[in-house]
Structure 1
């Protein structure tokens, strides 16, 4: 089964994912903890990593079932077809969210253009290309995820 990206009503991500899971459709809404300030207090709350988007794992023929849930608006499309997310990309997001805020990264003397495999942290086992070398950080391009990672040097 493929993972698809579903666009939801704003602020409905958690509700839609919860209701889809209740009716037997595997839905994933990645959450992060943020501290919010009100006039009288501070509170840590869980907010979606991607605003108005969740991931669902469903067969191609059953894709329309998600519209039975209030708040699910449409699928995200790429090149005229529903966008498919690979299982390893979902796992990479889950691994990244499971890692504590700080972690140790051992850094050798990398140079611009070096191709490396990360050995620790949330992107462990991901291949990357060193894009920039500065005195206090490296900028890495994670090819498989299509994102840029800044690694600070202690």
Structure 2
């Protein structure tokens, strides 16, 4: 009888294993989520496996040889594969599918013009200001009230943080 089993894959080979299993008419499920990654100062969403190095496979061990799955490119071994293989309950797989479907990553867009900020270091530590704009990769301009006047000053982005009440 067909059931779900957990397949351990070689590192970063989940998709390769999934493709090679599909060529053998073996159904599989690789839960993919979107995650926020920052590279070279830019933040973007990338798709990554929810369980790195793992793939769920749906097959009948009496019809498909376990050694055939173990020898599939990208695959390593079926977890819990001894004399008696332990299947995964369908409700667990369905629960994972539901959670992956509802998963919505929040992207931190960084500081936006008009955001209240607070200095975390330097001569103005613990004072509030208003973020105006980014000047360069590591610098920015903030509007700062000093002696009753609003002044525009340039500061290091690392020296301020979003003000939270």
TM exceeding 0.5: yes
Consecutive unaligned residues of structure 2, counting only runs of 5 or more, are 106-165
- In structure 1, the partner of 2:97 is 94
- In structure 2, the partner of 1:35 is 36
1:100 Cα deviation from its structure 2 partner: 4.6
- Cα distance, 1:20–1:78 mapped onto 2, change above 3 Å: closer
Distance (Å, rounded) in 2 between the aligned partners of 1:22 and 1:94: 23
RMSD: 2.2
Conserved? CA contact 2:33–2:103, under 8 Å: no
Consecutive unaligned residues of structure 1, counting only runs of 5 or more, are 103-154
TM-score by length of 2: 0.55
Conserved? CA contact 1:5–1:83, under 8 Å: no
Query: Are 1:75 and 2:78 an aligned pair?
Result: yes
Distance (Å, rounded) in 2 between the aligned partners of 1:100 and 1:32: 7
- In structure 2, the partner of 1:6 is 7
- In structure 2, the partner of 1:126 is none
Describe the superposition over 1:110-149 as per-residue Cα deviations: whole angstroms up to 9, x where unpaired.
Answer: xxxxxxxxxxxxxxxxxxxxxxxxxxxxxxxxxxxxxxxx
Distance (Å, rounded) in 2 between the aligned partners of 1:58 and 1:46: 26
Conserved? CA contact 2:70–2:78, under 8 Å: no
Distance (Å, rounded) in 1 between the aligned partners of 2:22 and 2:82: 28
Conserved? CA contact 1:9–1:73, under 8 Å: yes
Distance (Å, rounded) in 1 between the aligned partners of 2:73 and 2:103: 34
Distance (Å, rounded) in 2 between the aligned partners of 1:15 and 1:78: 21
1:82 Cα deviation from its structure 2 partner: 3.1
Please list every run of at least 4 consecutive aligned residues from structure 1 whose deviation after the TM superposition is greater than 2 angstroms. 40-43, 78-83
Distance (Å, rounded) in 1 between the aligned partners of 2:74 and 2:32: 18
Find the residue that maps to 1:94 and give its secondary structure: helix
Distance (Å, rounded) in 1 between the aligned partners of 2:53 and 2:86: 15
TM-score by length of 1: 0.58
